[in-house]
Amino acid sequence: MSDVWWRDAVIYQVYPRSFADSDGDGMGDLRGITERLPQLKELGVDAVWLSPFYPSPQRDGGYDVADYRDVDPRFGDLDDLGKLITAAHELGIRFIVDLVPNHTSSEHQWFRAALNAGPGSPERARYIFRDEPPNSWQSVFGGPAWQQVPDGQWYLHLFDVSQPDLNWDNPEVRDEFADILRFWLDRGVDGFRVDVAHGLIKDPGLAEYTYRGAVLGGLDPLGPPPPMWDQEGVHEIYRQWRRIVEAYPGDRVLVAEAWVSPADRLARYVRSDEMNQAFNFEYMEARWLPAELRQVIDVSLAAGDGVGAPTTWVLSNHDVVRHATRLGYEGSRGRMPGIGVGDPQPDTGLGLRRARAATLQMLALPGSAYLYQGEELGLPEHTTLPDDARQDPAWERSGHTERGRDGCRVPLPWEADAPSYGFGPSDRSWLPQPAVWAEYALDRQQGVAGSTWELYRSALALRREHHLGLGDLTWLDETKDVLAFRNGQVLVLTNFGAEPVSLPLGARVLLSSEPLGDDGRVPGDVTLWAAL
């Protein structure tokens, strides 16, 4: 087990719409990713996880899949994808694809057939249709989770109205996804990130649940467990998938996106015959407070150990406000529902400083770590994106109360002085890029000592050299404002306070998230790695 590649892997998330655009249409594409892969090699990641690239009306950024066995023409074709996978493998980078099994797009041929076939048909039985809404569940993006169709029936959509939930009690649905897994395994993918893994099975009675905050993990502190999340029946599905994946040679990985807490509940998704990893959202949501972080780290490690699975760590992804911005708000917590014009703006200097410290802490923890494209440049959220440019369905569906996730999905800056900051050959960009993108562009950071890009590169190289991902964590004495641990021969110290702190005698500095003071002490909001 300890020799599987994913146990300590650093996995880099590519959101294809926004990574690199090869043809100048303003939308990222697969060729763009292939052209930029050498940069990911230079960064030093072990694997890429590619967010959905399937044919889709793009009502939810591709998480509304119309065909699970093809590529959206916006991004290229199956041949381009084959070339991308081959190019990644030639560079020694593993390749994980995103699988969206909870719902299809309403443009999927199954849903079209369901609408045509009418009530009571086998086509409708692949989805969750009822004559009347049996409850008043709310969709994750706001508004009711039931939608009426012209013949009077209603279907369930936990997300956008264009994302009808599949009926996983129907064996046809299970067979179809088993086949989809094999389709991609046959094309050489190294694993799957499983979208909304906690949602596939609903309580059989579709029991009432009115607590709107239940979406994506927030539980009603007073009420019963939500009938749409984390039902026992999901585990049987992942046991079947594990058997399918294990029938293929090599070590493939199944990663759960499951907004489930507490940690030992999440650990049930990574028991020895289920998935291999689950995103650690509790860590992502922790505040910048030493006691809180220590507690989350301990609980996470114990939960993973309890089932023999590696713990994972993550600070940013395509659904949350980027951590360089979250940490620019004092006391901020959770994923934050997006930021826009008129909202309180973050302290970007503080945010970046803390983000660099947080990342260095994360990359020294034992287990596997997930990076989200652009964080290696220190990118902040676009916090002044014009509201009329927003595309996240959450903005409309929440009645303009949640700005949504567009601010973390803005196309990347590669070259400071090029049109679209080098995102593509034209000046087009599907979301407008802010003027500050120039200072974050990759070409302003490569080879520049102290840049965020060079910090990530050094951290990934040292992490590999010292086998930090495979190590063990031992806490060292702490004071109120300092969190310090040992992983093998490496001391990892984060100073959360205002006063600089001294290093133990004889410690040799390996890396620090900001320059140390002239006296060699570690300033506030800085993480330091030192050899003992």
State the Cα–Cα distance between residues 390 and 237, nearest whole angstrom: 35
Judged by CB under 6 A, which of 9, 30, 114, 196 binds ligand GLC? Answer: 196
Q: Please state the closest distance from residue 259 (CB atom) to ligand GLC, in A.
A: 8
How many residues sit in the footprint of ligand GLC (CB under 6 A)?
Answer: 9
CA 250 to chain centre: 24
Q: Please state the closest distance from residue 103 (CB atom) to ligand GLC, in A.
A: 7
Sign of the Cα torsion 109, 110, 112, 117 reads: positive
CB-based contact 368:270 (threshold 8 Å): no
Q: Please state the closest distance from residue 158 (CB atom) to ligand GLC, in A.
A: 8
User: Rule CB under 6 A: is residue 159 a binding residue for ligand GLC?
Assistant: yes
Compare residues 36 and 335 and give the one whose CB is closer to ligand GLC.
335
Sign of the Cα torsion 52, 110, 58, 212 reads: negative
3-state secondary structure labels for all residues of 186-255:
HCCCCEEEECCCCCCCCCCCCCCCCCHHHHHHCCCCCCCCCCCCCCCCHHHHHHHHHHHHHCCCCCCEEE
Site map 312..351 versus ligand GLC, x via CB under 6 A: ------xx--------------------------------
b/e code 427-456 from CB counts within 10 Å (16+ = b):
eebbbebbeebbebbbbbbeeeeebbbebb
Compare residues 157 and 354 and give the one whose CB is closer to ligand GLC.
157
Site map 376..395 versus ligand GLC, x via CB under 6 A: --------------------
Judged by CB under 6 A, which of 12, 63, 421, 423 binds ligand GLC? Answer: 63
- In the chain, the amino acid numbered 255 is V
Judged by CB under 6 A, which of 60, 72, 80, 402 binds ligand GLC? Answer: 60
Compare residues 318 and 466 and give the one whose CB is closer to ligand GLC.
318
Q: Please state the closest distance from residue 237 (CB atom) to ligand GLC, in A.
A: 17
User: Rule CB under 6 A: is residue 168 a binding residue for ligand GLC?
Assistant: no
State the Cα–Cα distance between residues 115 and 351, nearest whole angstrom: 49
Residue with the shortest CB distance to ligand GLC: 63
**What DSSP state is assigned to residue 23?**
S
State the Cα–Cα distance between residues 10 and 185, nearest whole angstrom: 21
Compare residues 316 and 451 and give the one whose CB is closer to ligand GLC.
316
Sign of the Cα torsion 28, 255, 313, 158 reads: positive
Compare residues 216 and 263 and give the one whose CB is closer to ligand GLC.
216
b/e code 503-529 from CB counts within 10 Å (16+ = b):
beeebeebbbbbeeeeeeebbbbbbbb
Site map 210..249 versus ligand GLC, x via CB under 6 A: ----------------------------------------
Place of tokens 């369930």: 156
Token pair for residue 318? Answer: 């395509």
Compare residues 215 and 493 and give the one whose CB is closer to ligand GLC.
215
Q: Please state the closest distance from residue 199 (CB atom) to ligand GLC, in A.
A: 8
User: Rule CB under 6 A: is residue 406 a binding residue for ligand GLC?
Assistant: no
Characterize the bridge pairing of strands 482-487 and 490-495: antiparallel
Compare residues 268 and 405 and give the one whose CB is closer to ligand GLC.
405
Cis amide leading into 262 (omega within 30): yes
Compare residues 283 and 496 and give the one whose CB is closer to ligand GLC.
283
Compare residues 20 and 100 and give the one whose CB is closer to ligand GLC.
100
Judged by CB under 6 A, which of 47, 100, 303, 455 binds ligand GLC? Answer: 100
Distance in Å from the first CA to the final CA of the chain: 29
* Burial class of residue 267, CB neighbours in 10 A (0-12, 13-18, 19+): buried
Compare residues 194 and 522 and give the one whose CB is closer to ligand GLC.
194
Rule CB under 6 A: which residues touch ligand GLC?
60, 63, 100, 159, 195-196, 257, 318-319
